[in-house]
Amino acid sequence: MAEVLVFHHGHGLTAGVREFTEHLGRAGHTVHLPDLYEGRVFDSLEEGMGYAENVGFDTITARGTAAAEGLSAELVYVGFPLGVLPAQKLAQTRPGARGALLLEACVPVSEFGGAWPQDVPVQIHGMDADPCFAGEGDVDAARAVVGTAVDGELFLYPGGRHLFTDSSLPSYGEQAATQVNIRVLGFLDRIK
């Protein structure tokens, strides 16, 4: 079973993110879920992202990096949109990474100093008409990552919802989120 470090999205550590990690735990994986917002949860994404901007995205990423300290190097990093920053950084730069699952976001690999590591499998999920994922360049970054990774997969789901994977938000898309969960568990089962 895999050891997984999950980073939440811009609303904070919501019930839906907790449910996702509990799902992984019930499947037998060891899951770590740090709170990058230090206890704050925001009703709107705008408020949450405002908090992240005030604190600084570098600070949020540093909190994620610090959460990995003291854990095994052999982690799978999972990031919901804002959490993709520390997840992708750690997958690209921390030796021993076993994989990366980037949900609804992806940044260019140049953000963290170069190419995707050849020995780190990656799976990226997003909606094909999501104004954030498809409209802000994340899907292009995802295609580039998958195009250079030895074991890389990009899954695009029909629709325009952002944060469709969080069951506690109005943007939740049950059908697509169920597919994501199945594919995530399949990915984790391949990590030995």
For the domain that residue 143 is a member of, what is the CATH number?
3.40.50.1820
Q: What is residue 120's predicted lDDT score, i.e. its pLDDT?
A: 96
Predicted local confidence at residue 122, as pLDDT: 98
Check pLDDT > 90 for residue 192. Answer: no
**41 by DSSP, 3-state: which?**
strand
Alpha-carbon gap, residue 79 to 37, rounded angstroms: 14
Q: Could you report the per-residue pLDDT of 14-41, keeping only the tens digit for each?
A: 999 999 999 999 999 999 999 999 999 9
Residue-number span of the structural domain to which 89 is assigned: 3-190
The whole-number average pLDDT for the span 106-110 is 96
Name the pLDDT band for 142 (thresholds 50, 70, 90).
very high
Number of domains present in the structure of the chain? 1
Cα dist. 31→7, 19, 47 in Å?
A: 11, 12, 27
Sequence length of the chain is 192
Contact 114, 91 (CB under 8 A): no
What CA–CA distance (Å, rounded) separates 8 from 52? 12
Q: What is the pLDDT of residue 2?
A: 95
Q: What percent of the chain has pLDDT over 70?
A: 99
pTM of the predicted model over 0.85: yes
Instruction: Give whole-number Cα distances, 7 to 3, 29, 32, 123, 135, in Å.
Output: 14, 16, 9, 15, 23
Residue 113 — pLDDT band, cuts 50, 70, 90? confident
